[in-house]
Amino acid sequence: MRIALLGMGTVGGGVYELAAKKGIEVVRVLERVRRTENATTDIADIADDPRIEAVAEMLGGVEPAREYALRCIRAGKHFVTANKLLISRCGIELAREAQNAGVRLVFSAACGGGIPFLPSLVRARESDRIVRAGGILNGTTNYILDRMQREGVDFASALADAQALGYAERDPSGDIDGWDTARKVTLIAAVAFGALPSEDEMPVMGIGNIRTEDVQAFKRRNLVCRLIGETAKTEAGVTACVRPVLFRVSDAESAVLRNDNLCWYQGEQSGLFRLMGQGAGRYPTAANVLADVLSLNAGLPPMLEEGLKPAALTRAAAEPYYVRVPGYAAETLRTLLTGVSEAGEWRMGETVPMEPAEIQKIISALPGAFCAATVREGGKS
Ligand code: HSE
């Protein structure tokens, strides 16, 4: 198989290194700074090269990735990408173009890093009806939460380490505020339900405001905080949200350490399946890109089915939340809170059951406030 790479950053460099071992020849590399013999800065050198069967894109961002994708797909090249933003924003357009051109569009590494979650979802979708899917989908935040919980490290040091290890996005607010997870949830919904939600319509709550006091409070109650993204299909429609969730130490989510992800889906007939592994990092993600390349001629069903449409999200289920809010806000929230305790300028308590969109509205208006859905009997997933 002869391919071209778009991008030679953390993941692209990993793909370049690993490709030869898999019998894949990298014919051209699109890169700004020349690091390889076959480098180019002109997409035409790739789109117009008849030797190239497939293109693997690891540039990130929407443009110029979208323009390059369209150009390569229209030139009859299979397109493999690790770019979740590209698929989240342009998945419908690119899937239609790929279908018209008779080529494959695959993006396993865009959700779950090194975990072959999306191909598993495709397989499950073909034989069962998927009811809901999601999990711990961001390596950076899991790494931060795990180090705060097990080692008592503060948020800023744990984030700096995650950046040094190459897990975080260039702008890590995408990780810690939950947007990276939200984008992955849109991909999951698109694959599982044939409906692509917009992240802008999704309730998204991150861990940017979590403090050592929160983690200590969870530890006293034998609870572990994880950032969860999930989507479900009910009779009313598709739901999707991202929020921190508290788990018992015996729940599967609590055993997900460092940058690992835990991806799950529930099939109507097959029940709950979980896949766990490295959700971020150079080589695991590169290996997933290469697995996509190697699968291109295997005659698999398309990752995005014909007729993919935008999803209008319906309201997600209400659940109680742990909250830490500034003291001045506790009085206003009195009717919503039980078991309020004091920690300096903060008040901690548990809310009545609330929908993610409702609690997000309250918490986002209070500087420094944090919330996490509280654990339910039997865990969350
Ligand atoms: N920044 C992402 C993460 C990379 O931490 O999970 C993998 O998508």
Model pLDDT, residue 132: 97
Using CA atoms, how far apart are residues 233 and 184, in angstroms rounded to an integer?
Answer: 16
Predicted model pTM: 0.96
Model pLDDT, residue 376: 63
Using CA atoms, how far apart are residues 100 and 327, in angstroms rounded to an integer?
Answer: 58
Q: From atom 4 of ligand 1, which residue's Cα is the shortest distance away? A: 280
Model pLDDT, residue 169: 83
With a 6 A CB cut-off, is 149 part of the ligand 1 pocket? no
With a 6 A CB cut-off, is 167 part of the ligand 1 pocket? yes
CA of 166 to the centre of ligand 1 (A): 9
With a 6 A CB cut-off, is 181 part of the ligand 1 pocket? no
Task: Give the nearest ligand 1 atom to 110 CA.
Answer: 8
With a 6 A CB cut-off, is 279 part of the ligand 1 pocket? yes
Structure tokens at 159: 């984030």
Mention every residue, 6+ apart, whose C-beta is less than 8 A from residue 163. 172
Q: What mean pLDDT is predicted for residues 212-228?
A: 96
Percent of all residues in the chain with a pLDDT value above 90, rounded to a whole number: 94
Mention every residue, 6+ apart, whose C-beta is less than 8 A from residue 123. none
Task: Give the nearest ligand 1 atom to 172 CA.
Answer: 1
pLDDT at 380 over 60: no
With a 6 A CB cut-off, is 266 part of the ligand 1 pocket? no
Write out pLDDT tens, residues 221-248. 999 999 999 999 999 999 999 999 999 9
Model pLDDT, residue 378: 43
Q: What mean pLDDT is predicted for residues 57-61?
A: 96
Using CA atoms, how far apart are residues 46 and 57, in angstroms rounded to an integer?
Answer: 12
Nearest to 280 by CA among 177, 362, 145, 163: 163
**Within the chain, where are the H helices?**
10-19, 44-47, 65-74, 84-101, 117-127, 139-151, 155-164, 173-176, 179-193, 212-220, 282-295, 327-330, 356-364
Catalytic residues: 184
Using CA atoms, how far apart are residues 99 and 79, in angstroms rounded to an integer?
Answer: 12
pLDDT at 127 over 70: yes
Write out pLDDT tens, residues 63-91. 999 999 999 999 999 999 999 999 999 99
